[in-house]
Amino acid sequence: MTAPSPSPAGAGDTALVVAGLGWGVGGVVILADIDLMVDRGEFVSLIGPNGAGKTSLINVVSGVHTPRAGTVELLGEDVTGLRPADRTRRGLGRTFQTSSLFHGLTVAENVRLGAQAALGGSLDLLSGPHPGDEATERADEALARVGLRDERGSRVSELSHGDKRKLELALVLAADPDVLLLDEPTAGVSVEETAPLVSLIQDVHRSGKAILMVEHRMEFVVDVSERIAVMHEGRLLTVGEPSEVMRDEKVRRAYLGGRE
């Protein structure tokens, strides 16, 4: 694949550009020569077999890992050397495969902490909530958006798994990101709770957010994605529209066929 050309700062329709990205642990190469572009408002899904490097790529893009090679550009700015918190303040939001919630706190307290951090404040519940302050307002709006306003006083431990996934999304939305990285948002969610969660993610996308999502449920991926990127052994195998990718024989051999 030809490396994407980075956009001038603040220009164009590009939300996220990954160029020549490489990362590894010790002498083991985990990611190599990754080139991927996500436009503003676009929905791109990242698929591939277990161990293909999907979550590793999300970790590098979000700043959890520092790449050995290449760059990450967010909304026209090179953020390769920035910490995760700094990327959040520049418009990047991220959910995780496994829960990152504070289970002993209430639903509202979790989201308010996320809003405080995004606004540059401390992770200190003693600093709030204060009725009418920006962090509290953001938290309330995010909870309403995901349908959890009535649960704001409940402990996280009391929520169903599907509602915990919604809460994780609310935590991200409270920061008002332009680009969302979703790492297996339906993992562990029951069949009954999957449809409302998928509908919520689609609604978030329709609001203009760019989304890069790792997901294994192919019916979900095909339904929501404008493009699909396929990873195999730490490299991008192909990127294209869902119908094109589903017909690709390389993809069927490397991933789809391997699941049968």
User: How high is the pLDDT of residue 4?
Assistant: 42
Distance CA 257, CA 25 (A): 29
DSSP 3: P
Strands, sheet with 210-214, edge to edge from the N-terminal-most edge strand = 92-94, 179-183, 210-214, 43-47, 227-232, 235-240
Q: Where are the alpha helices (DSSP H) in the chain?
A: 54-62, 84-89, 107-118, 134-146, 161-173, 191-206, 218-224, 242-247, 249-251
User: How high is the pLDDT of residue 130?
Assistant: 55
**Mean pLDDT within 217-227:** 94
User: How high is the pLDDT of residue 253?
Assistant: 80
Distance CA 32, CA 235 (A): 6
φ/ψ of residue 6, rounded to 5: -60, 145
Distance CA 159, CA 157 (A): 6
DSSP 184: S
**Mean pLDDT within 54-81:** 97
Residue 7 or 192, more confident: 192
